[in-house]
Amino acid sequence: MLANSQSRLCLLAAAVVASVSLGACSSVTDRTRGMLYAVTPYKVEVVQGNFVSKEQVEALKPGMSRQQVREILGTSLLTDVFHSDRWDYVFTIRRQGVEPQQRRLTLFFKGELLERYQGDPMPSEEEFVAGLDVRKFSGKIPPLEATEEQLNKAAPAKTDAAPAAPAPLAPLPPSYPPLESTR
């Protein structure tokens, strides 16, 4: 009878250990899964096409030649063989932590002259550059001016000895020796 109760006790202990172990596994798994979602791999920034600023679009005028347009906007990203009178400027940028951006500008020519253009509203160059920096600044910005006390701390220690007189300069030679010896 004693052996039977010991075996029941061992089975009960094994069942308790197994259930505790399985419960611990699920909490470790949840915690590990949460950590994996917190760490993301580095994704390469993808920039494609021609950035066209609001200032460049404002410089376009109907009646400009293709060469004048090319000097303002650069070569178009898409030039269709079947629609030679249409140029498409497309710009896309995909960056980690930022919504992807895509902008399009389509120019229509009549012969060699610009007839019209249409497209998305373009940002100014200043707005575009400001949008590139997505770092979040935290903390207090230090003052850029030193106080009188800080200047006094940084000043060199004063000594009672008189400053040493600079050594006299040696006189320059009247002429320099030749660079190459003559033979």
- What is the predicted pLDDT for the residue at 45? 75
Residue 146: per-residue pLDDT: 79
What is the rounded distance in angstroms from the CA atom of residue 177 to the CA atom of residue 149? 56
pLDDT at position 116 is 94
Kindly state whether residues 18 and 57 are assigned to the same domain: no
Residues 51 and 29 in one domain: no
pLDDT in tens, 138-153: 566 666 787 888 888 8
Query: Which pLDDT belongs to residue 8?
Result: 75
Tell me, yes or no, whether 97 lies in a domain: yes
User: Cα 130 to the chain's mean position, in Å?
Assistant: 11
Q: How many domains does the chain have?
A: 2
Query: Residue 141: its pLDDT value, please?
Result: 67
Per-residue pLDDT, 71? 92
Give the count of alpha carbons within 13 A of 101, CB side only: 21
- Show the low-confidence residues of the chain (pLDDT under 50): none
Q: Which domain holds residue 68?
A: 46-132
